[in-house]
Structure 1
Amino acid sequence: MREQLQELLEQRVLQCVSMPRNQLHECPGIELKKQSCAKRSAEIVKAKANGRIKRKFENQENESVLYEVHFQYLIKQRGLFYMEEEVEKRQVEFYKGILVSDEKLNEIDGPREDVEDIPVFSGHEEGQERKGFRYDRMKAVQYAERWWNDFNPAYKKFEVDCTNYISQCLHAGGGPMRGYPNRSNGWWMQNNNWSFSWTVANAMRWYLPGSKFGLRGRAVDSAEQLKLGDVICYDFQGDGRFDHTTIVTGHDGNGMPLVNAHTYNSRMRYWAYEDSTAYTPNIKYKFITITDDSDA
């Protein structure tokens, strides 16, 4: 089974990368990736994939397999080469050992993190110690690179893990926790508990620009204004509730951000997410640059 799955992956990726544009509808994931690259004068010059089986379900002659496929794309843009990586969740069905379907699962998996309107207090609370900090952008990026496709055992792991991962990156960059034990106050994770702003995309979107001290940010108008270690929040439906968060870990040949993320683990992915199954024409972004006491 494992060998059959790996052979399927390798053949499919090579076929899709080399496929003429008028046949790309047969490979929707690669099609969206190629379209995204073409819009910014970039191209995929090499691609590979490796699969890992997560779960199997057998029922007499039928077998269903949930698996992850780790894609690597070598992208060339204006003389710059960089490696984009993604882990895609898929489900394959076999009947009597014969492949009958192979489908990508939705990119934003399960219930949204922010199913309720959650109040988040980011100002100074009486009795709290006011902690200043200097944001170390390189340490935040180094952490993002180390754990982009893994989970740090020092922190709790979530099925929808995008904002938890970004919080860890910001903390690695020096962001001080504050507000414990009130989950609606500050930004923290300790004693197997956490604030909403640490784990919920919509809460982080409001917390960062509203915070007056410690970890805080400032909204800017466009993605090209973002630096390494800055944050992008995504409202895929455009309904005012943000449901995804990424961190800037690089820039492409046009100087535009490349980001790392969890849930659908990815690194050096183009910031706009136009190649995502979660993307809609109504998408809204919030660009947040992290500020610290050196900016005061």
Structure 2
Amino acid sequence: MRDQLHELLKKRVQQCVSHSRSSIHTCPKIEKKKESLSGRSGEIVKAQATGNVIRVGKEKEDVTPVEYRVHFKYLIKQKGIFYLEEEIEERIADFYKGVFVEDREKNPFKDSKKEEVSSDREFEEEERYEYEYDRMKAVQYAEKWWNTYNPAYKKFDVDCTNYISQCLHAGGGPMRGYPNRGKGWWMRSGNWSYSWTVANSMRWYLPSSNSGLRAEEVSSADQLLIGDVICYDFQGDGRFDHTTIVTGKDASGMPLVNAHTYNSRMRYWAYEDSTAYTPNIKYKFLTITDDQ
């Protein structure tokens, strides 16, 4: 099985830099990434993938599922400028009587709406918390921990907003509201506010906050600066599923972002190549403001 997975990864790497779609194992996600890049005058000039098996599932009707993790690196050229994008994929491959038959990426956001809470918008607090947001420190933190987890904080299965909160805190955003989970923005003593960990709560908290960490909504992604935040509603149903932080810009001045849950760095902000992407996707673009 490992040898077959190795061959599959070799084909996916070749697909990244090939202009042919004839392979029987063509990965739709890679084609979406290439199409998105082509529309931005970019291309993948080199790709690399390393993987490891996480778990071999129980055989059922002669089919054995194998969960594995892949670290992809893409060297991207856009308008004469190069940058490196990285991402971690969690995938499942099915083997029928030991022979590979199907491969798919797990969708980490499928069950994220289980985190719904009734107190998303209870954020008002009078006390003032002066701070100056250090965007570079926030981005440095985002780069350091994009593919690992700071042991000083609790880790979650859907970890995207927890990771973004840590980045914002590293940039100087002050915690407030403890111990009320529906108030403020905080993680302390093994507990946390909804706004710290739940994407939909952070989406409402940042532009609604009247003290401490807060943000202003802008109309388009190109208005964002490094250290700013993008919120994603993949289904377009009004509840936001995912959060990223801007860590760079591409050759056209559009945001590149880092994220957790499926860990990635310097990924194009629109997530058009994500398995969670739908035509109904909605975004919120939030620029962090100082409180002085």
Q: Deviations over 1:130-158 (max 9, x none)?
A: 32101110110011011111111111110
In structure 2, the partner of 1:51 is 51
Asked if the contact 1:205–1:286 (Cα under 8 Å) also holds between the matched residues in 2, the reply is yes
Q: Percent identity?
A: 66
Q: Is the 8 A contact 1:175 1:214 kept in 2?
A: yes
Distance in 2, matches of 1:273 and 1:117, equals: 28
Alpha-carbon contact 1:120-1:186 (below 8 Å) kept: no
Match of residue 269 from structure 2: 271
Deviating 4+ runs (over 6 angstroms)? 22-25
Q: How far off is 1:58 after superposition?
A: 3.9
Check the 8 A contact 2:195/2:205 in 1, yes or no.
yes
Secondary structure in structure 2 of the residue aligned to 1:26 = coil
Q: TM-score normalised to the size of structure 1?
A: 0.92
Distance 2:70 2:34 in 1: 18
Are residues 154 and 2 of structure 1, via their aligned partners in 2, closer, same or farther at CA, if it must alter by over 3 Å? farther
**1:33-63 deviations in Å (ceiling 9; x for gaps):** 0011011111111111111211112439653
Match of 1:212 in 2: 210
* Alpha-carbon separation, structure 1, partners of 2:239 and 2:31: 28
Q: Aligned partners of 1:94, 1:27: CA distance in 2, in Å?
A: 17
The yes-or-no answer on 1:80 pairing with 2:81 is yes
1:286 and 2:284 are equivalent in the alignment: yes
Cα contact 1:85–1:267 (8 A) shared by 2? yes
- Whole-Å Cα distance in 1 between the matches of residues 108 and 31 of structure 2? 16
Per-residue CA shift, 1:83-127, capped at 9, x if unaligned? 1111111111223432222222225243425434433333324xx
TM-score, normalised with respect to structure 2: 0.93
5+ long unaligned stretches in structure 1: none
Contact 1:156 1:192 in 2 (8 A): yes
* 1:26 maps to 2:18: no
Match of 2:121 in 1: 120
Report the number of matched residues: 291
Take 1:41 and 1:224, find their aligned partners in 2: how far apart are those partners?
17
Matched, 1:65 2:66: yes
Amino acid in the other structure paired with 2:89: E
Aligned to 2:221: 223
Partner of 1:182: 180
SS at the partner of 2:69? Answer: strand
User: How far does residue 4 in structure 1 lie from its aligned partner after superposition?
Assistant: 4.3
> Which 5+ residue runs of structure 2 have no aligned equivalent?
none
Name whichever of 105-114 and 74-83 sits farther off. 105-114
User: Is the contact between residue 91 and residue 105 of structure 2 (CA under 8 Å) also seen in structure 1?
Assistant: yes
